[in-house]
Structure 1
Amino acid sequence: VVKATLSAWDQASFEALTRPHPALRFEGLLEGLRELRKIHTGALWLEIFIVPGLNDAPAQVQRIAELAASLKADRIHLNTAVRPAAEPGVRALAVEELQRLGAFFRPPGEVIAGSLSGGQPAAALDRERIMAMLRRRPCTALDVSRSFGLEPAVATKLLDELKHAGRIRLEKRAGEFFYRGL
């Protein structure tokens, strides 16, 4: 399985959503995905990351869906910001709205917002890897637990130790507590 992200429909939307290096062109990315589809005989999954106000209007989603159809994706995953985003003001789209937008896609989009894939074995636990994850994005204790295959109590204990050591901070957002690497 190869999973790629396709959340834009042109250069302007690509820049607004991803803040790419100035040399990166949306058409080049799209052409690369088309070439990949030609040579890759396995499954191709596309993740569509929806950001309210940037790419959630029906006409915008329709344009993304048309591009996704041209890539003959085997699965379409719809996602949104479920953790605090790097950019202030970015918020999640309601699951019900994501489900409605899923109908634009063929195959129909599956809402994956809020789900986490399988974690890594506890034996591979490395505090620096946890720190690296928390520097990339804020996570709940449950996120850390699932990502690293830890019992929730073990993850909470490690996070408390890192917090007391001044390496992370705790933030409350939308009624949930998130840990952020410093």
Structure 2
Amino acid sequence: MESMKYIYGPVPSRRLGISLGVSPIPKKTCNYSCVYCQLGKTDHFMNTREMFFPVAEILMEFDAFLKSAVPFDVVTIVGEGEPTLYLGLGELILGIKERTGKPVAVITNGALLYDAALRAELGLADIVLPTLDAYDTVSFRKINRPHRSIDFEKVNEGLITFSKEYAGSLWIEIMLIDGINDDDVSLRKYAEALKKIKCDRVYINTPVRPPAETYAKEISPERMNRAVEILGGIPINFLDTEGFHSEIPDDYEAIMSIIKRHPMNQFEVESFLASRGCDKQAVEGICSRMRADDKVTAIDYKGIVTYRLR
């Protein structure tokens, strides 16, 4: 199978199992520029929904993937930025659901949930995973660094409204950053915010992959335990090393297709290549090639090398 433009993986997801990714937006296109983003800084900063690619083109690729019969647990619309900026989202969700009985999930920053039309489109998904990183305007600007047209109160009200309208599974994720929003005062403010939101799960995360800003650091195990105690959420701050898949025959191109949307650390690369029958020498050769590739950034983060596309 040739390299695909919109479909990638499956990749392991700490919340969803083996996830088949769908990316309906151009690279690093978002209405936030979060300090912790694993894709690096936002390249295309915008807050207008657009039909970036034809829905039919994405679904054609999805059909081609389904013929491979590779197993997956869920189809996740996320990609390389904020998927709700894609104007064809509702049509895309319906098209995927016509083709598979697997659940469809959308991972979103939730910024556009004030838009009633978007809420209706997201309502078609089985699982929606919005982030709740901020509890007021100051924390919003410090952590999410939103597009200038986005107002915190509007975003917050949109999430509350959606949570009451939505019939599917709503899983909230809070990203905690050392010294920024992991203190008890912040945690209690999150707890107050959560009281207004009708959700099925709360996931507590912290940066485990290289973030956009070096100061966005992982919180301590003690603070994570405290967050779980105050928020009653599920901690997901651990790494996956198995479950990556690509139908692309060439090992190097297969890795490139994954790290375009999902950075991989050295252990994940080794595990993935081993599952494809590569010996140690071949793995070392591919890692050396990535380190020399101008399109790839190799970041030493806490003693672990992580590869992502520039």
Q: TM-score, structure 1 length as denominator? A: 0.80
Asked whether the equivalents of residues 242 and 268 of structure 2 are also in contact (C-alpha less than 8 Å), the reply is no
Write the deviation string for residues 20-74 of structure 1: whole angstroms up to 9, x where unpaired.
Answer: 1011111111111112112211221111100122211111111111111211221
The equivalent of 2:227 in structure 1 is 101
- 1:171 — aligned with what? 299
| C-alpha separation in 2, matches of 1:140 and 1:116 | 9
Structure 2 counterparts to residues 84-163 of structure 1, below 5 A: 84-105=210-231, 108-116=232-240, 119=243, 121-123=245-247, 126-133=254-261, 139-144=264-269, 151=275, 156=283, 158-163=286-291
Match of 2:181 in 1: 55
CA drift of 1:158 comes to: 4.4
Matches of 2:304 and 2:255, distance apart in 1? 23
Percent identical residues: 28
Separation in 1 of the partners of 2:288 and 2:307?
10
- Residue 87 of structure 1 and its aligned partner are, at CA, apart by 0.7
* Matched-pair contact (CA < 8 Å) for 2:208–2:239: no
- In 1, the alpha carbon distance for the partners of 2:227 and 2:306 equals 28
**Match for 1:181: what amino acid?**
L
Deviation at 1:94, TM superposition (A): 1.5
CA distance in 1 between partners of 2:136 and 2:160 (Å): 15
Paired amino acid for 2:136: D
Q: Quick one: which of 116, 132, 136 aligns to 1:10?
A: 136
Distance across 2 between alignment mates of 1:145 and 1:69: 43
Structure richer in helix, relative to its length: 1
CA distance in 2, matches of 1:169, 1:153: 25
Q: What is the CA–CA distance in structure 2 between the aligned matches of 1:30 and 1:144, rounded to whole Å?
A: 38
Q: Residue 174 of structure 1 aligns to which amino acid in structure 2?
A: K
Q: Which residue matches 2:195?
A: 69
Cα separation, 2, equivalents of 1:176 and 1:67:
35
Cα contact 2:170–2:200 (8 A) shared by 1: yes
> 2:309 matched to 1:181?
yes
> Per the alignment, do residues 13 and 165 of structure 1 end up closer, same or farther by CA in structure 2, a change over 3 Å counting?
closer
Distance in 2 between the 1:41 and 1:117 partners?
33
- Give the unaligned 5+ runs of structure 1: none
How many residues align? The count is: 176
Structure 1 residues 22, 143: CA separation in 2 closer, same or farther (over 3 Å shift)?
farther
